[in-house]
Structure 1
């Protein structure tokens, strides 16, 4: 059976690393990246679909593929989707900050609602595994708004009947962002010695590619647990 990955949040730090990992992984025949805009990147395994994440639950992938299909390139994929003859893994690294979002309400919409929309949509598509980038400290009872929203997403995802739900909780991320975040940059400088000295594995910063590699690794394992939390310290080894 062919195996494909559907990916959201591709333009972000972890999303880009995930895309590269999935392209290099020979077990995946195709990667479908969904988002509000296409990336300036082309690869024979990559299919990019523009979708409004606020409306994705009602989006029909077959129709979207047919709209952009030139010369019947996607015909085999469309046929496999229709026949449900694919193993589908969904990877979600959607996320923002309150500063970028502009308000707590918009942050909630992106970090919670869009993630849930993608999860329901991918489950309806036939995805049996869902791998989500959460955060260290995620807790629906947290007094910190960011951690509270992440925790709420984790709890809400458990309701969707995936055969496997992987919740990845990285600490402070190291990597190249498009936007400058002063607080993060200061934190990186302060905490970088923990990486060099390999101290406090649970809390020390982690590279974006380590999270991506951990996600692809766990997606390819046979899992007995329906829900698994992968803490930052366990991703440090990748």
Structure 2
């Protein structure tokens, strides 16, 4: 029997956590495999957590890792699907940080670019044909803003990979409960809420984390999609109405 599996990275982040819950609730997905530096403090019968070093994703043995967690035999159907090739994996990536959190531009690039591409290569090797990526409004490899430039480079590199479909989601300012307080973002959200209320700059209207997650899952299941598609923040608003 064919089983649909979600490969997820960035699960501990704002969008990533909401993405997990969307995938748990969606009957189309039998299993959700989360790749992260450490395990999350959540449990669900669909969830399998795999602790990884994102610098060494090429060394990950997924089946062995799952086998080591299969003490009660609950993951046997998943292992059979992976071994037989009957699994239909779809990859979701919301990896990202800030230059302040990373400590330097070099560290930021490693997380926001290299780790994303490493993850994409790994899941392609595991049979994923569809890849959903959380980018940012304004992403452009030619941008003078370093953050947008890196996001644009990632988009370009993903488009060159041999996926059947790459969905690139470009949210505006994200609303949701963050672990850390970003004062600049909070001020910007207040300003943009007022501006969009007046009907100006609608494409910059802030969007909730769960709206982005919902759009990603919805697009991932539209089997007729192929090639590369950029989904704007305003489109995500419409998809979640």
TM-score by length of 1: 0.97
2:181 aligned with 1:180 = yes
67-76 or 148-157, which moves further after superposition?
67-76
Preserved contact between residue 123 and residue 160 of structure 1 (Cα < 8 Å): no
Following superposition, the deviation at residue 209 of structure 1 comes to: 0.8
- Tell me the SS of whatever aligns to 1:202: helix
113-122 or 187-196, which moves further after superposition?
187-196
CA distance in 2, matches of 1:201, 1:31: 34
- Tell me the SS of whatever aligns to 2:35: strand
Q: 1:224 to 1:15 in 2, by over 3 A?
A: closer
2:123 aligned with 1:122 = yes
Preserved contact between residue 196 and residue 204 of structure 2 (Cα < 8 Å): no
- Tell me the SS of whatever aligns to 1:40: coil
CA distance in 2, matches of 1:133, 1:107: 16
2:201 aligned with 1:200 = yes
- Tell me the SS of whatever aligns to 1:5: strand
CA distance in 1, matches of 2:205, 2:64: 45
80-89 or 101-110, which moves further after superposition?
80-89
RMSD: 1.2
Q: 1:40 to 1:46 in 2, by over 3 A?
A: same
Preserved contact between residue 201 and residue 236 of structure 1 (Cα < 8 Å): no
1:64 corresponds to: 65
What are the ranges of 5 or more consecutive residues in structure 2 without an aligned counterpart? Answer: none
- Tell me the SS of whatever aligns to 1:186: helix
CA distance in 2, matches of 1:216, 1:188: 25
What are the ranges of 5 or more consecutive residues in structure 1 without an aligned counterpart? Answer: none
Preserved contact between residue 95 and residue 111 of structure 1 (Cα < 8 Å): yes
TM-score by length of 2: 0.95
Following superposition, the deviation at residue 57 of structure 1 comes to: 2.0
1:98 corresponds to: 99
2:25 aligned with 1:24 = yes
CA distance in 1, matches of 2:225, 2:130: 12
Preserved contact between residue 167 and residue 229 of structure 1 (Cα < 8 Å): yes
Preserved contact between residue 22 and residue 31 of structure 1 (Cα < 8 Å): yes
Preserved contact between residue 141 and residue 149 of structure 2 (Cα < 8 Å): yes
2:133 corresponds to: 132
Following superposition, the deviation at residue 191 of structure 1 comes to: 1.2
Q: Deviations over 1:15-46 (max 9, x none)?
A: 01101100000110110011001111111111
CA distance in 2, matches of 1:215, 1:73: 28
Following superposition, the deviation at residue 236 of structure 1 comes to: 1.1
2:218 corresponds to: 217
CA distance in 1, matches of 2:206, 2:122: 32
Q: How many residues align?
A: 238
Preserved contact between residue 3 and residue 87 of structure 2 (Cα < 8 Å): yes
